[in-house]
Amino acid sequence: MKTVKFAIIGCGRIGTRHAEHIHNNKRAELVAVCDIIGNRADELAKKYNSKSVYDFDELLNENYDVISICTPSGMHAEMSIKALKADKHVLCEKPMTLNLSDADKVVEQEQSNGKKFFLVKQNRYNPPIKVLKDVVYNKKLGTISLINCNVLWNRKKEYYVESDWKGTMEQDGGALMTQCSHFLDLIVWLGGKVNSVYAKMANLSHPYMETEDTGFITINFESGCIGTLQYTTCVYKKNLEGTMTVLGDKGSIKVGGEYLNTLPFWDVEGVEKPELEPGNPPNDYGTYKGSMSNHDKVIGNVVDVLLDGKEIATNSQQGRESIEVMQAAYISSIENRPVELPLKGKDYEFKLNKQPPLSGNKKSV
């Protein structure tokens, strides 16, 4: 049986999750793993009977089809481009890049040599989201007026200070890029073309890091719909909710729970509330939880695309769209103005890691 051969760069929590699901997919094979911390690579390689490598350039010379990029966010752009140039397909963790110009470089490189770029956006596979997407795309809610998303999560001090990159502008990008990019992706996925963005952000309770931990974003869509995203990592003790509400002139739906995992409200003209298929639990990292654990479906999509010619679940252009909206949000908050899309001139060239770092309590971006 033909298989898709994978390699992994970055053997931390996410890389370990990729390895598990590659191993569990009968049409996939993990042939190499890489990490600059040698013992992490060795341990993961031993567990899955693969080769351990300690240098990214050396890994690019190995024989495989797809590289899973599971490194800090600030490394995604450079590694994706180098891997595509090395004739490898790329499966990249979110965010695709930390700025729009780098996203365009990834898209350009992908188009130049015909290799494929896959972006991890696992919330698209959540059973309530799949139902919501079907209803919206088939116009069963009629004209959509509002898409609202709340991400009220907790990330404790240990999450940031035990890492040399989390909470930094250069490698993390901020709570929007790290904790909330999945949610913003869904807003744009459902809402369509974006005309303008307005945002407010602040660091309210993590004075030891550089980036924002709280924000409110308003998105104006070409359709006339308004999208809103309220997010924070300041919730007391543990995550409170990750929810999405969509209002149309023929119905209202709320996807609820801690990580978009329930369907608490459904009122759609002529459409009964469906029974949801079983969903996966969240990614559990011990001291905190993330989004629903759908990496099995992400790996499955890569295999299905490469072996069966199916459609990429989240492609580079869709990743670029989310990056453009997030970049516009940071510009809006820093410069206190609405930002129109598509980004042009200095807005297009903007890079968050060149802005003065945030510090101290209640410091606005």
pLDDT, averaged per 10 consecutive residues of the chain (365 residues), comes to 97 96 98 97 98 98 98 98 98 98 98 96 95 97 98 95 91 95 97 98 94 96 98 96 98 95 97 88 62 88 98 98 98 96 97 59 51
Per-residue confidence (pLDDT) for residue 140, from 0 to 100: 97
Q: Which residue spans within 133-261 are E strands per DSSP?
A: 144-152, 194-203, 214-221, 226-232, 241-248, 251-256
Give the residue ranges of DSSP H helices in 226-315.
295-308
d(CA 319, CA 22): 22
Question: Are residues 86 and 137 located together in one domain of the fold?
Answer: no
Question: Are residues 136 and 226 located together in one domain of the fold?
Answer: yes
- How much of the chain is in helix, strand and coil states, percent to nearest 5? 35, 25, 40
For residue 184, give the nearest of 260, 237, 262 by alpha carbon: 260
Q: How would you classify the pairing of strands 28-34 and 51-53?
A: parallel
Q: What global pTM score does this model have?
A: 0.94
Which CATH number does the domain housing residue 55 bear?
3.40.50.720
Question: Are residues 74 and 149 located together in one domain of the fold?
Answer: no
Question: Are residues 87 and 128 located together in one domain of the fold?
Answer: no
Single residue among 122, 151, 180 that ends a domain in this structure:
122
* Cβ pair 67, 91 in contact under 8 A: yes
Question: Are residues 234 and 189 located together in one domain of the fold?
Answer: yes
Residue 229 in any domain: the answer is yes
Residues 6+ apart with CB under 8 A from 54: 34, 35, 36, 38, 41
Tokens 């002139």 found at: 249
Number of domains forming the structure of the chain:
2
Query: What are the backbone dihedrals phi and psi of residue 272, each rounded to the nearest 5 degrees, phi first?
Result: -75, 150
Q: What is the domain extent for residue 43?
A: 4-122
Per-residue confidence (pLDDT) for residue 285, from 0 to 100: 60
Tokens 């479906």 found at: 297
Q: Which residues of 213-239 are buried (b: 16+ CB within 10 A; e: fewer)?
A: bbbbbbbbbeeebbbebebbbbeeeeb
Question: Are residues 163 and 112 located together in one domain of the fold?
Answer: no
Per-residue confidence (pLDDT) for residue 360, from 0 to 100: 43
Residue 285 in any domain: the answer is yes
Q: Which residue spans within 51-93 are E strands per DSSP?
A: 51-53, 66-69, 89-92
